[in-house]
């Protein structure tokens, strides 16, 4: 049975909380007491440590580099510098394609590391060449007395090159770096970069967890930034990405999802966006409950409560009312809150 001891200090609206989660656990409390914060913390940890997160994180890095390259190409680059920037973009596009292939046909992390290291080395050479070209061009802008003119474009170009080199020099694929980068990213998305308790004067926030199998971790945030020196992760198992349902009205928003677009793919780290994505994937072959031993019992409960059919077609979603001679379909947004909860489970199940 799943069992975890969780301690939260100065996170969200929680000042301090000790929670023991064992199987199905009910957390009760008054409004604004931090019940949802507990779920969001567990979701953020589980998502960060989920299998294949290293590919998602690397895609984030590619997206940042792509933005910097696009910014560079909008500046008044000379013909030679522009050609080098285009070469970098072509390499980036090729790596994005490789990643899309790896996502469709999963491979080992070692193989992915080899691909990413090869890419980084090639891009470093291109960026170094671009930097040398920019420096050479800058040296020709001085006047006869040797005084250099201040060129705003030149400053912006150097800033973008510096940012790209910084990203390339970060070894995100080292296990600890990978986990910490992902933890920071997911917590930022889930808490809108406001992880620490805003009403507290204490700048330090901590999350500690211990599983029944002695897997454990401690996350320390200083003013919303993860302190890697003080944080530890001791995990010897793989995580499956969790699903967090805290608001049944999310079913009203199946057609409107906030996503992060990276390399042509959609990534959702926020729990609400991820749930909407799952609800939209009605043709998926994967059943999120397929590994549950009580699968038949879940089916029976859902069939008893949701005895009509749920249909999702493009931007429209309906609940087909059973036993109706008029063959009417009710918009999912008009269902009761309780029915919406079971509808979400039914959609995920099927």
Average pLDDT over residues 81-97: 89
- Is the pLDDT assigned to residue 103 strictly greater than 90? no
With H, G, I as helix, E, B as strand and everything else as coil, classify residue 216.
Answer: strand
Which of the four pLDDT bands, split at 50, 70 and 90, describes residue 187?
Answer: very high
**Do 53 and 36 meet the contact criterion of CB atoms below 8 Å apart?**
no
Helix axes 79-104, 109-139, angle to 10 degrees: 170
Residues shown for the chain = 350
Q: What's the confidence (pLDDT) of residue 257?
A: 42
Q: What's the confidence (pLDDT) of residue 240?
A: 76
Enter the tokens of residue 34: 């931090």
Q: Which of 181, 156, 171 has the alpha carbon at shortest distance from 124?
A: 171
Give every CB contact of residue 322 below 8 A, 6+ residues apart in sequence.
Answer: 307, 308
What is the rounded CA–CA span in Å between residue 20 and residue 2? 11
Which of the four pLDDT bands, split at 50, 70 and 90, describes residue 293?
Answer: very low
Q: What's the confidence (pLDDT) of residue 286?
A: 47
Q: What's the confidence (pLDDT) of residue 79?
A: 86
Helix axes 53-74, 175-191, angle to 10 degrees: 70
Which of the four pLDDT bands, split at 50, 70 and 90, describes residue 260?
Answer: very low
Q: Which residues pair with 18 in a beta bridge?
A: 7
Q: What's the confidence (pLDDT) of residue 347?
A: 66
Q: What's the confidence (pLDDT) of residue 47?
A: 85
Q: What's the confidence (pLDDT) of residue 217?
A: 92
CB atoms within 10 A of CB 204: 14
- Is the pLDDT assigned to residue 150 strictly greater than 60? no
Query: Exposed (0-12), middle (13-18) or buried (19+): which is 36, by Cβ within 10 Å?
Result: middle
Calculate what percentage of the chain has a pLDDT beyond 90: 15
Among the listed ranges 5-19, 237-251, 262-276, 314-328, which one has the minimum average pLDDT value?
314-328
- Is the pLDDT assigned to residue 259 strictly greater than 60? no
Between 2 and 127, where is the model more confident? 127
| Residue written as token pair 């008054």 | 30
Among the listed ranges 14-28, 56-70, 267-281, 295-309, which one has the minimum average pLDDT value?
295-309
Average pLDDT over residues 174-178: 66
- Is the pLDDT assigned to residue 18 strictly greater than 90? yes
Between 8 and 335, where is the model more confident? 8
Average pLDDT over residues 215-224: 93
The radius of gyration of the chain from alpha carbons, rounded to an integer in Å, stands at 25
| Residue written as token pair 């920071």 | 184
- Is the pLDDT assigned to residue 53 strictly greater than 80? no
What is the rounded CA–CA span in Å between residue 111 and residue 131? 30
Q: What's the confidence (pLDDT) of residue 35?
A: 85
**Do 189 and 269 meet the contact criterion of CB atoms below 8 Å apart?**
yes
- Is the pLDDT assigned to residue 40 strictly greater than 70? yes
Which phi and psi (to 5°) does residue 55 adopt?
-70, -40
Q: What's the confidence (pLDDT) of residue 189?
A: 87
Average pLDDT over residues 306-317: 56
DSSP tag of 31: T
3-state helix, strand, coil in the chain (%, to 5): 50, 15, 35
Which of the four pLDDT bands, split at 50, 70 and 90, describes residue 154?
Answer: confident
Give residue 350's Cα distance to chain centre: 25
Q: What's the confidence (pLDDT) of residue 339?
A: 64
Helices and strands counted in the chain (H then E):
9, 11
User: From residue 107, how far is each of 96, 113, 120, 173 by CA, in Å?
Assistant: 15, 10, 19, 15
User: From residue 53, how far is each of 62, 90, 151, 153 by CA, in Å?
Assistant: 14, 25, 41, 37
Q: What's the confidence (pLDDT) of residue 291?
A: 47
What is the rounded CA–CA span in Å between residue 130 and residue 142? 20
With H, G, I as helix, E, B as strand and everything else as coil, classify residue 239.
Answer: strand
Among the listed ranges 45-59, 128-142, 248-262, 268-282, which one has the minimum average pLDDT value?
248-262
- Is the pLDDT assigned to residue 280 strictly greater than 70? no
- Is the pLDDT assigned to residue 304 strictly greater than 80? no
pLDDT averaged over the chain? 74
């Amino acid at each position: 049975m799943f069992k975890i001891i969780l301690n939260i200090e100065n996170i969200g609206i929680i000042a301090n909380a000790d929670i023991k989660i064992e199987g199905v656990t009910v957390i009760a409390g008054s409004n604004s007491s931090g019940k949802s914060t507990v779920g969001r913390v567990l979701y953020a940890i589980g998502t960060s440590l989920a299998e294949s997160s290293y590919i998602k994180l690397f895609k984030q890095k590619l997206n940042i580099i792509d933005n910097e390259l696009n910014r560079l190409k909008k500046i008044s680059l000379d013909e030679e510098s522009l050609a080098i920037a285009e070469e970098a973009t072509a390499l980036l596009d090729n790596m994005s394609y490789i990643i899309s292939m790896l996502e469709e046909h999963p491979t080992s992390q070692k193989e992915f590391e080899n691909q990413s290291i090869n890419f980084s080395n090639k891009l470093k050479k291109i960026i170094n060449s671009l930097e040398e070209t920019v420096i050479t061009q800058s040296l020709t802008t001085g006047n006869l007395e040797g005084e250099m003119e201040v060129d705003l474009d030149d400053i912006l170009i150097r800033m973008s090159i510096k940012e790209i080199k910084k990203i390339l020099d970060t070894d995100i694929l080292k296990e600890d770096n990978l986990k910490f980068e992902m933890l920071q990213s997911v917590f930022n998305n889930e808490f809108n970069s406001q992880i620490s308790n805003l009403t507290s004067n204490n700048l330090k926030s901590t999350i500690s967890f211990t599983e029944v199998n002695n897997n454990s971790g401690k996350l320390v945030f200083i003013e919303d930034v993860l302190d890697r020196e003080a944080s530890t992760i001791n995990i010897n198992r793989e995580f499956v990405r969790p699903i967090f349902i805290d608001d049944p009205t999310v079913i009203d928003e199946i057609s409107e999802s906030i996503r992060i677009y990276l390399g042509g793919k959609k990534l959702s780290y926020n729990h609400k966006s991820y749930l909407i994505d799952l609800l939209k994937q009605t043709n998926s072959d994967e059943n999120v409950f397929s590994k549950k031993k009580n699968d038949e019992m879940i089916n029976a409960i859902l069939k008893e409560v949701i005895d009509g059919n749920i249909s999702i077609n493009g931007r429209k979603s309906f609940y087909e009312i059973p036993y109706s001679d008029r063959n009417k379909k009710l918009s999912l947004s008009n269902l009761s809150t309780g029915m919406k909860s079971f509808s979400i489970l039914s959609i995920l199940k099927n």
